[in-house]
């Protein structure tokens, strides 16, 4: 029986369906063992925490406390503004790094080397303590003030986090820009588009596909890193939770509460990231991945219909 | 032919060369790719460049719209030097912006299509007219639809490049180049990356374009196309022009040994 004979089968006759294989599946005993072990460990951890003297009721009762909410607000504000500084600075540094001008590209290299190579907490302390070496800030006729009045805790936190982030974002953006095929630049130039237009209209939209996922990572990282700025006297979620913990006599519970809030915020950010990635995936894959809502809809409406009807 | 491509640009006298190359040299580091190219492409003619890979024909094509800078010699398009401005006896390099202005009038089609993958077929075509020439979006869109119809893809306006076959992508790429109303079209092995069965569609579009009077320089391995549509043909090897003439003469009766050797392998 050859394939050719198969294809000349008269139309109309249904193909003789192959017989389904009936066999005894391999038993994966290792899987059962590892599942039992994992569940056992998990249960004992939960049990241990149940034994601890933890006043669980304190968590929900303070969850929407006005100070906590204020802290959440401050954390989000700091995350957003620091990330903006990081992204704008990162794009600038990446373009500088890739430029043909050896001076700008070296400066960018040096910046990245310095800010990536020192701990962000040290950077925060440096910004915080610059008042010890500068008495005034003097920008000529534009602005002049005492350093201590100028460098508020918020500005310290922003500069510390934002400038550090710019170094990381620069590398992410550079990778994104380099990922776009050179032919795209050539095609764009051949159509008479300038360098700037080519970058804005052709290169960056394609680079975004590569840039967005690690940037989402960076945002989540940033949200968590903001907890460091309590060291420079800027009050945010963790600081408020600790303050409440000290006055209410439930310090550990308040740390759990803070952790829960960080989890909520990072979860929200992950959902946002999913949709941004989906937007920039247009054109790159033949069919966009469906949103969770669309998946749900498809499941509900295809209920009762034979499976595989919708591909 | 329902539509005249060059409607906007006044045509040069039929005798004046569209592209003139005198002793053009180009090196990549120590590697000399072009070793003195002399040729003339007349306005309105279909000029075919053939030769083995590495012979410098693609490089020469890229020099014409200054994607590559030449090291020596003189290359001019429509009477103006490529990449430089002569003032008195001094030669000034053109700024990127000025180079971009000159490229508007030269369409280019690439071997690997190079469509913008994040834009639909129609958006690919309207991008340059809107961004570079400042055509309003409605008009550009209308023109894009006409061009898509002309290349036989009217129903693919909303498709992304990844949803099109190679032949369809290349036809969109041709439409994209035509949308700028170029006075010269450069084709860099436009069918080399295509499945054999898709080559015909692209060649049909190019034939159509040739009949409309477009000046075309075509780097190709399609000898049939060169013989049928070409007005002149140049055989390049090792960075020099080995033989040139009318395609029929060169292809059927090559004088030079290297041309004979190359063609015997091709046909």
Q: How many helices (H) and strands (E) does chain B have?
A: 9, 12
CB pair distance less than 8 Å for B116 and A284: no
Q: A239 CB contacts (<8 Å, ≥6 apart)?
A: A71, A230
Comparing alpha-carbon positions, the chain B residue that sits nearest to A191 is B104
Question: CB distance from B160 to chain A under 8 Å?
Answer: yes
Tell me the β-bridge partners of B32: B27
pLDDT, position A285:
61
State the nearest Cα–Cα gap between A250 and chain B, in angstroms.
Answer: 53
What's the CA gap between B122 and B161, in Å, rounded? 10
Cα–Cα dist A201/A198, whole Å = 5
> Across residues B233-241, what is the average pLDDT?
94
- pLDDT band at residue A2 under the 50/70/90 scheme: very low
Checking if the pLDDT of A282 tops 80, the result is no
Whether residue A183 and residue B177 make contact (CB cut-off 8 A), yes or no, is no
If contacts are CB pairs under 8 Å, which of residues 21-60 in chain A contact chain B? Answer: none
Q: Residue A69's pLDDT band (boundaries 50, 70, 90)?
A: very high
ipTM tops 0.85:
yes
Q: What confidence score (pLDDT) does residue A12 get? A: 57
Closest by Cα among B215, B224, B115 to B171: B115
Supply φ then ψ for residue A202, to 5 degrees.
-110, -50
Residue A13 has pLDDT above 70, yes or no: no
Long-range contact list for A297-301, CB < 8 A, 24+ apart? none
CB within 8 Å: B100 and A194: yes
Res B8 pLDDT > 70: no
Distances (CA, A) of A27 to A24, A31, A32, B30: 9, 9, 10, 65
Q: B123-156 pLDDT, tens per residue?
A: 999 999 999 999 999 999 999 999 999 999 999 9
Note the pLDDT of residue B3.
43
Least Cα separation, residue A132 to chain B (angstroms): 48
Q: CB–CB of A283 and B176 under 8 A?
A: no
Structure-token pair, residue B11: 């045509």
Determine contact: B97 vs chain A, CB below 8 A: yes
SS3 per residue for A231-285: HHCCCCHHHHHHHHHHHHCCHHHHHHHHHHHHHHHHHHHHHHHHHHHHHHCECCE
Chain A residue numbers touching B180 (CB-CB < 8 A): 191-192
Q: Distance between CA A110 and CA A116 in Å, rounded? A: 10
By Cβ distance, the residue of A183, A191, A194 closest to B97 is A194
Indicate whether A249 pLDDT > 90. no
| Whole-number Cα distances in Å, A188 to A37, B147, B148, B212 | 59, 19, 19, 25
Contact between residue B194 and residue B171 where contact means Cβ atoms under 8 Å apart: no
In terms of average pLDDT, the best of A9-23, A138-152, A201-215 is: A201-215
Q: What percent of chain A has pLDDT over 70?
A: 88
The rounded distance, in Å, linking the Cα atoms of A239 and A245 is 10
Tens digits of residue pLDDT in B153-186: 999 999 999 999 999 999 999 999 999 999 999 9
Least confident interval from A213-217, A306-310, B195-199, B256-260: A306-310
pTM: 0.78
E strands along chain B, which residues? 17-28, 31-42, 46-50, 72-77, 80-81, 84-87, 90-93, 106-109, 184-188, 215-219, 232-237, 240-245
Using the predicted structure, report yes or no on whether residue A113 has a pLDDT greater than 60. yes
Instruction: State whether residue B7 sits within 8 Å of chain A by CB.
Output: no
Q: What whole-number distance in Å separates Cα of residue A288 and Cα of residue A81?
A: 31
Lowest mean pLDDT among B8-12, B44-48, B203-207: B8-12
Residues 177-196 of A with CB under 8 A from B: 181, 183-184, 186-195
Query: Could you tell me the two tokens for A217?
Result: 């990572």
Residues B70-86: tens digit of each pLDDT = 999 999 999 999 999 88
Chain-wide mean pLDDT for chain B?
91
Q: CB–CB of B5/B212 below 8 Å?
A: yes
| A-chain residue closest to B128, CA distance | A191
CA A144 to chain centre: 38
| Residues 195-224 in A contacting B (C-alpha not used; CB under 8 Å) | 195, 197, 201-202, 205-206
- Counting Cβ atoms within 10 Å, is residue B136 exposed (0-12), middle (13-18) or buried (19+)? exposed
Minimum mean pLDDT among A271-275, A295-299, B174-178: which range? Answer: A295-299
CB within 8 Å: B118 and A283: yes
| Whole-number pLDDT of residue A135 | 83
Q: Tell me, what DSSP letter sits at residue B267?
A: -
B127 touches chain A (CB under 8 A): yes
**The pLDDT of residue A132:** 85
Q: Is the pLDDT of residue B193 over 80?
A: yes
Structure tokens at B156: 């693919």
**B43 in Cβ contact with B14 (< 8 Å):** yes
When pLDDT is averaged across residues B44-66 and rounded to a whole number, the result is 94
Do A187 and B127 count as a contact with CB atoms less than 8 A apart? no
Residue of B96, B160, B173 lying closest to A195 (CB–CB): B96
Q: Do A190 and B162 touch (CB under 8 A)?
A: no
**Per-residue pLDDT for A50 more than 60?**
yes
Q: What is the pLDDT of residue B114?
A: 96
Interface contact A191-B128, CB threshold 8 A: yes
Shortest distance, CA B15 to any CA of chain A (angstroms): 26
Beta bridge partners, B24, equal: B37
* Mean pLDDT for the stretch of residues B216-225: 94
Q: How far is B56 from chain A (nearest CA, A)?
A: 18
Q: Which value, in Å, is the radius of gyration of the alpha carbons in chain A?
A: 28
Disruptive mutation site among A193, A195, A282, A283 for chain B (greatest number of B CBs within 10 Å): A283
pLDDT value for B10:
41
Return the residue of B nearest to A186 by Cα.
Answer: B67
Chain B segment 222-261 residues within 8 A of A by beta carbon are none
Calpha distance B61→B63 (Å, rounded): 5
């Amino acid at each position: 029986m050859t394939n050719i004979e198969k294809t000349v089968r008269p139309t109309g006759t249904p193909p003789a369906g192959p017989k389904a294989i009936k066999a005894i599946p391999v038993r994966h005993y290792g899987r059962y063992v590892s599942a039992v072990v994992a569940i056992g460990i998990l249960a004992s951890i939960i049990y241990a925490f149940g034994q601890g003297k933890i006043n669980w009721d304190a968590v929900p009762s303070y969850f929407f406390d006005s100070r906590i909410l204020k802290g959440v607000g401050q954390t989000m504000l700091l995350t957003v503004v620091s990330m903006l500084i990081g992204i704008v600075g990162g794009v600038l540094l990446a373009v500088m790094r890739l430029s043909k001008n050896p001076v700008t590209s070296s400066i960018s290299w040096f910046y990245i080397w310095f800010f990536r190579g020192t701990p962000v907490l040290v950077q925060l302390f440096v910004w915080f303590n610059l008042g010890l070496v500068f008495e005034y800030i003097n920008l000529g006729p534009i602005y002049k003030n005492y350093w201590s009045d100028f460098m508020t805790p918020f500005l310290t936190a922003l500069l510390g986090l934002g400038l550090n982030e710019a170094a990381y974002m620069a590398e992410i953006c550079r990778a994104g820009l380099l990922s776009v095929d050179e032919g795209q630049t050539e095609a764009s130039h051949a159509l008479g588009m300038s360098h700037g237009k080519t970058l804005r209209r052709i290169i960056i939209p394609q680079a975004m596909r590569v840039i967005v996922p690690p940037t989402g990572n960076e945002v989540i990282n940033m949200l968590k890193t903001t907890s460091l700025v309590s060291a420079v006297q800027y009050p945010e979620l963790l600081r408020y939770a600790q303050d409440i913990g000290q006055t209410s006599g439930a310090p550990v519970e308040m740390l759990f509460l803070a952790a829960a809030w960080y989890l909520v915020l990072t979860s929200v950010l992950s959902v946002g990231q999913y949709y941004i990635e989906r937007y920039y995936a247009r054109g790159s894959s033949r069919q966009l991945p469906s949103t969770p809502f669309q998946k749900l809809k498809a499941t509900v409406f295809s209920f009762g219909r034979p499976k595989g009807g919708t591909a | 032919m329902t539509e005249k491509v060059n409607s906007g640009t006044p045509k040069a006298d039929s005798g004046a060369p569209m592209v003139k190359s005198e002793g053009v040299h180009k090196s990549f580091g120590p590697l000399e790719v072009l070793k003195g190219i002399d040729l003339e492409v007349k306005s309105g003619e279909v000029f075919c460049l053939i030769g083995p890979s590495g012979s410098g024909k693609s490089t020469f094509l890229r020099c014409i719209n200054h994607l590559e800078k030449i090291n020596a010699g003189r290359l001019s398009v429509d009477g103006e030097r490529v990449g430089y401005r002569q003032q008195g006896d001094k030669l000034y390099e053109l700024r990127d912006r000025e180079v971009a202005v000159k490229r508007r009038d030269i369409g280019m089609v690439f071997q690997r299509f190079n469509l913008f993958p994040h834009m639909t077929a129609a958006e690919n075509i309207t991008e340059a007219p809107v961004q570079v020439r400042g055509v309003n979006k409605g008009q550009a869109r209308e023109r894009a639809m006409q061009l898509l119809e002309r290349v036989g893809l009217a129903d693919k306006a909303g498709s992304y490049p990844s949803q099109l076959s190679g032949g369809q992508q290349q036809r969109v790429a041709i439409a994209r180049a035509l949308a700028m109303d170029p006075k010269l079209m450069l084709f860099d092995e436009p069918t080399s990356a295509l499945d054999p069965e898709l080559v015909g569609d692209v060649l049909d579009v190019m034939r159509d374009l040739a009949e409309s009077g477009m000046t075309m320089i075509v780097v190709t391995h399609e000898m049939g196309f060169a013989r049928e549509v070409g007005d002149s043909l140049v055989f390049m090897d090792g960075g020099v022009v080995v033989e040139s003439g009318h395609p029929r003469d060169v292809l059927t009766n090559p004088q030079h040994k290297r041309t004979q050797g190359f063609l015997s392998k091709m046909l």
